[in-house]
């Protein structure tokens, strides 16, 4: 009996150990498929809508663009001052940086190269600034050439990057507009004076010359009536003079109409 009980005890212990091992294996099997899911879930959560930091270049552009726009709106003199100040600061920084590394060691070749490079950079930047600053003046020059060639409707662009040149363009356009207005007024005054002169001449032709010719024709008719019947030659000459007077009267009348058409009355 003792041996049977002892064997049964060992059997129970073996069954418990096998059950424990199987349970551990099942738990491990259940955890293993979940690990990729948890990783994938972590990766999905990381891909989800989160606040990402902006790239550094965009941050730099957001800071630099307003500064550049402000500098571009400065007058030409201030641009030169700002550019040369930046050059001096940059040269001072580079000199301080290379002092211990090259200058203190007496490397004169590098010193000469540094000086030449600094001068060349300064000249280049000043040249570019001057070129950009005077570029709006090219538009002014082209507009003046066009106006001198007869294109009076041309105007200078008023929107520039330099406020002083912009003010110059506005003043120039105002002067051109004033000159155009004066020219139109002068042309209207000349046309009005010419019209008044035409009216005066037409009135004189109608009131004086036409009446004189009409009186001449009437007088010739009266002379013709008192002539003797045998004065054939004299009658012919009077008729010729009368016809000439009629022709002259018609020409004067037509001239008066051409000088002052009835449509303008």
- 160-174: average pLDDT: 81
Helix runs in 73-207, H state only = 76-98, 108-133, 135-148, 163-204
Beta carbons within 8 Å of 163's beta carbon, 6+ residues apart: 73, 74, 75
Residue with the bigger pLDDT between 44 and 8: it is: 8
pLDDT score of 19 more than 80: no
Smallest CA-to-CA distance from 264 within 191, 205, 204, 208 is with 191
- Residue 189 is predicted with a pLDDT of 92
pLDDT score of 229: 78
State mean pLDDT over 50-76.
59
pLDDT in tens, 119-136: 888 888 878 877 777 777
Instruction: With beta carbons less than 8 A apart as the criterion, state whether 73 and 165 touch.
Output: no
The share of the chain scoring above pLDDT 70, in percent, equals 63
For the whole prediction, is pTM greater than 0.85? no
- Give me the mean pLDDT over the 135-151 stretch: 83
């Amino acid at each position: 009996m003792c041996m049977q009980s002892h064997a049964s005890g060992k059997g129970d212990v073996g069954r418990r150990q096998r059950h424990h091992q199987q349970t551990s294996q099942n738990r491990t099997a259940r955890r293993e498929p979940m690990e990729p899911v948890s990783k994938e879930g972590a990766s999905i959560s990381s891909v989800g809508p989160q606040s990402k930091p902006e790239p550094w270049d965009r941050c730099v552009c957001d800071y630099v663009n307003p500064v550049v726009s402000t500098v571009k709106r400065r007058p030409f003199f201030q641009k030169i001052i700002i550019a040369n100040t930046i050059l001096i600061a940059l040269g001072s920084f580079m000199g301080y940086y290379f002092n211990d590394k090259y200058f203190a060691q007496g490397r004169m070749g590098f010193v000469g190269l540094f000086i030449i490079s600094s001068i060349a950079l300064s000249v280049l930047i000043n040249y570019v600034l001057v070129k950009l600053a005077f570029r709006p003046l090219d538009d002014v020059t082209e507009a003046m050439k066009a106006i001198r060639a007869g294109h009076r409707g041309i105007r200078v662009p008023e929107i520039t990057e330099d406020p002083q040149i912009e003010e110059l363009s506005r003043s120039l356009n105002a002067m051109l507009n004033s000159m155009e207005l004066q020219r139109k007024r002068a042309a209207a005054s000349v046309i009005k004076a010419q019209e008044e002169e035409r009216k005066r001449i037409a009135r004189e032709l109608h009131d004086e010359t036409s009446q004189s010719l009409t009186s001449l024709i009437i007088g010739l008719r009266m002379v013709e009536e008192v002539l003797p019947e045998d004065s054939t030659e004299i009658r012919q000459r009077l008729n010729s003079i009368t016809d000439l007077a009629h022709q002259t009267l018609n020409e004067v009348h037509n001239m008066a109409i051409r000088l002052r058409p009835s449509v303008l009355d």
